[in-house]
């Protein structure tokens, strides 16, 4: 899953693709590099990022979706807002990637009548404050319980289990230790029986472990990505698609030779 941010303030790419043309050009580059799925977002959710209105988010995302509709790859919309989900679904999006796990009032309804896939992600708190001393008794158990609870809510709303992907939400209300524990125990989330998506690309945990700024976190990101895939992650949300493909190809060849 290649990341396409149509935002002026995402932590990882600092507004490089905030115009429509730049975002579409970037998406095509990620396709050429081997992305199977493009995740299009109109709001940065990094800790402390300013919120945008649904209107503004839709204004950023929908023209990009329209330009990419026939690109031959699955399209995902990265949003917490039911209005944006609805607009994106009207414009042919295949996956609703909600860091709020469809908890916003109206979110379940927004996806219920479509056939789209849904990613349910764990987040403790809200983006603005989530990194202020997040606390868990047992982070792996609590994330698992949360995702199982959201799955139950989604099933009760009449959405099929086959449409669901789950995500531990690396960096969303978690310390470095929480992130590491979740990645180390990813097979426990995989055991829930749904495909697991993981996003670690360029995140601050990589910066903390390597001492690198956001432009120099590729090697660390690839290492974390492989650790997740080896424990059963099925979708990896990344900024560097070509390098991720290469890393996966080599790992897969070794795995196949076993």
8 A C-beta contact, residue 147 and residue 172: no
Alpha-carbon span 65 to 78, nearest angstrom: 12
Binding mask 151-170 toward ligand HH2 (x if CB under 6 A, else -) reads ----------------x-xx
CA dist 37 to 60, 236, 239, Å?
19, 10, 12
C-alpha pair distances (Å), 250 with each of 37, 243, 244: 21, 11, 10
The CA distance from 66 to 58, in Å, is 12
| Catalytic residue flag (residue 103) | no
Annotation marks residue 237 as catalytic: yes
Binders of ligand HH2 in range 206-245 (CB under 6 A): 237
Contact between 166 and 120 (Cβ < 8 Å) = yes
Task: Work out whether 194 is an interface residue with ligand HH2 (CB under 6 A).
Answer: no
- 199 near ligand HH2 (CB under 6 A): yes
Looking at 57, 78, 144, 240, which residue binds ligand HH2 (CB under 6 A)? 78
Are 61 and 41 contacting, i.e. CB atoms less than 8 angstroms apart?
yes
CA distance 198 to 157: 25
Site for ligand HH2 in 25-54 (CB under 6 A): 41, 44-46
Given 60, 86, 202, 203, the catalytic residue: 203
Which residue is closest to ligand HH2 by CB? 199
Residue 253 Cβ vs ligand HH2, minimum distance, rounded to whole Å: 27
The reply to whether 119 sits near ligand HH2 by the rule CB under 6 A is yes
11 binds ligand HH2 (CB under 6 A): yes
How many chain residues touch ligand HH2 (CB under 6 A)? 21
First and final C-alpha spacing in the chain: 27
DSSP, collapsed to helix, strand or coil, labels residue 41 as strand
Q: By C-beta, is 46 or 163 nearer to ligand HH2?
A: 46
Residues of this chain that interact with ligand HH2 (CB under 6 A) are 3, 5, 10-13, 41, 44-46, 78, 97, 99, 119, 121, 167, 169-170, 197, 199, 237
State the catalytic residues.
Answer: 203, 237
């Amino acid at each position: 899953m290649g990341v396409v941010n149509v935002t002026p303030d995402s932590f990882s790419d600092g507004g490089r693709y905030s115009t429509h043309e730049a975002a579409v050009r970037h998406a095509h580059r990620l396709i050429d590099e081997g992305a199977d799925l493009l995740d299009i977002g109109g709001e940065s959710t990094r800790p402390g990022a300013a919120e945008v209105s649904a209107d503004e988010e839709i204004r950023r995302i929908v023209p990009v979706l329209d330009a990419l509709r026939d690109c031959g790859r699955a399209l995902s919309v990265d949003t917490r807002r039911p209005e944006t989900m609805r607009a994106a679904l009207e414009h042919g999006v295949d996956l609703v990637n909600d860091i709020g796990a469809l908890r916003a009032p109206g979110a379940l309804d927004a996806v219920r009548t479509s056939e789209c896939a849904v990613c349910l992600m764990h987040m403790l708190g809200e983006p603005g404050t989530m990194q202020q001393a997040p606390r868990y008794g047992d982070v792996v158990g609590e994330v698992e319980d949360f995702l199982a609870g959201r799955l139950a809510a989604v099933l009760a709303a009449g959405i099929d289990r086959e449409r669901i992907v789950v995500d531990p939400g690396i960096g969303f209300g978690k310390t470095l230790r929480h992130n590491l524990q979740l990645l180390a125990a990813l097979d426990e989330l995989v055991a829930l029986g749904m495909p697991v998506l993981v996003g670690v690309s360029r995140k601050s945990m990589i910066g903390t472990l390597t001492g690198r700024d956001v432009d120099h976190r590729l090697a660390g990101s690839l290492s974390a990505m492989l650790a997740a895939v080896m424990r059963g992650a099925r979708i990896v949300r990344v900024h560097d698609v070509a390098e991720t493909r290469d890393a996966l190809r080599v790992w897969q060849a070794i795995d196949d030779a076993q």
